[in-house]
Copies of this chain bind each other. A is one copy, B any other.
Amino acid sequence: METELADKKNLLIIGAGGVAQVVAHKAAQWAAEFGALHIASRTQSKADAIVASLRDKGHQVAVETHALDAMDSKAVADLIRKLDAKIVINVGSAFINMTVLEGCIAAGAAYIDTAIHEDPAKVCETPPWYGNYEWKRREAVEKAGITAVLGAGFDPGVVNAYARLAEDEYFDKIDSIDIVDINAGSHGRYFATNFDPEINFREFTGTVYAWQGGKWTENKMFEVGREWDLPVVGKQTAYLSGHDEVHSLSARYKDSDVRFWMGFGPHYINVFTVLQSLGLLSEQPVKTAEGQEVVPLKLVKAVLPDPASLAKDYTGKTCIGDLVKGSLNGKPGEVFIYNVADHKQAYDEVGSQGISYTAGVPPLAAAVLIARGPWDVKKMANVEDLPARPFLEMLGEMGLPTRVIDATGDHPV
């Protein structure tokens, strides 16, 4: 028994927000796959609160918490070594990705994240975004012999696997991949973002990059809208938006159009437009009449509801999927591969809303696949570079089942 436990890989979760909470609950449910469980956060009490929420749901598994400045790669490496962690799931702020990755490279642990690295001082850098930070570490990752899975949340993440499934099982030529993300849920507040407003708004304030006709195209947010008619959530308007996965899928599917569509209601667009037009979403400081320097976006974040506080009242469902068009042996076709998640069901299970749930389950599924072997590829990979079937099967077992609409109808994958 002791040998068996020793064989299992210790898991370190970095971050203690809404997504980290989901990862921790799933890790507790799947504790048999891992050795020791650890949560590290800048503010240790937030990690302790997650452990308390585990106890609330009846999980008795041992979990240690740690205070960590994840912007300090040496501190990350030291903690990994001290804990003998073999897999690190980074679900902290998007600003810490590169320092956590450096720590994993130095200490020899597998690395998983769910969103692209961001520089606090810059918005929407040159495409492909992965080329700005992540892919520059490819050689270092390979040399260290570690596995680094990038963007393993839902979108990016699961939607990348959906594209790979279409490649593997449907088409020999892919013409277009349209990823559609609809949150048809309701939180009952005047206005709120579903995750950190600072990151949320940064997604929409810059140029909207899409990969079309073999090159990067540029639009403004809310410039291009399209009505979709999707399972469960019905008719919804979604807008061409900038998103991480376009920046990796465009490399693997360089002859296909790759677009991301995010659903927004008129109220969200109105509030966003007012704030942006007034300059209140800027990350550049302004000076008040009293001489105080303030970053407008940080104030907006401070007045908006804490995304975690929305969970208990959240109702309704999300539908996120890939419409892939292509051909097989010259015969054209299309397939819509998707998941529907339920906000209340997520809250009942792990104490988080559906957006956090869909983002937090996949990195734990990825961790299990690294622990078991099929995804322990000893190099840097985006999700579409890895086998899709084992990932989608694991997600199905973990509560995020995949469905497919193809020529034969609407059915489980």
Q: Which residues of A contact B (CB under 8 A)?
A: 190-191, 270-271, 274-275, 277-280, 282, 286-290, 292, 294, 296, 298-304
Contacts and interface: CB of A to CB of B under 8 A. Distances in A.
A300 B290 CA distance: 13
A275 B300 CA distance: 10
A190 B275 CA distance: 11
B271 A278 contact: yes
Contacts of A191: 274, 277-278
A71 to B, nearest CB: 13
A290 to B, nearest CB: 7
A288 B302 CA distance: 5
A190 B278 contact: yes
Contacts of A290: 298
B302 A286 contact: yes
A296 B303 contact: yes
| Interface hub of A278, A279, A286, A287 (most chain B Cβ within 10 A) | A278
Contacts of A275: 274, 278
Contact of A294 (B190, B278, B302): B302
Identical chains bound together, number: 2
A279 B303 contact: yes
Contacts of A280: 280, 299-300, 303
Given A280-B280, A294-B294, A301 B274 contact: no
A301 B292 CA distance: 12
Contact of A303 (B278, B298, B303, B304): B278
Contacts of A190: 277-278
B286 A299 contact: yes
B289 A301 contact: yes
13 contacts: A191-B274, A270-B270, A270-B274, A274-B275, A278-B303, A280-B299, A280-B303, A289-B301, A290-B298, A294-B302, A296-B299, A296-B303, A299-B299
A380 to B, nearest CB: 31
Given A190-B277, A191-B278, A275-B274, A298 B289 contact: yes
Nearest to A189: B277
A289 B274 contact: no
A286 B289 CA distance: 17
Contacts of A298: 288-290, 292
A149 to B, nearest CB: 28
Nearest to A303: B279
A301 B277 CA distance: 14
Given A191-B278, A270-B270, A274-B274, A299 B304 contact: no
Given A288-B299, A298-B288, A298-B292, A274 B271 contact: yes
Given A271-B278, A275-B274, A278-B304, A292 B289 contact: no
A140 to B, nearest CB: 31
Contacts of A282: 303
A286 B303 contact: yes
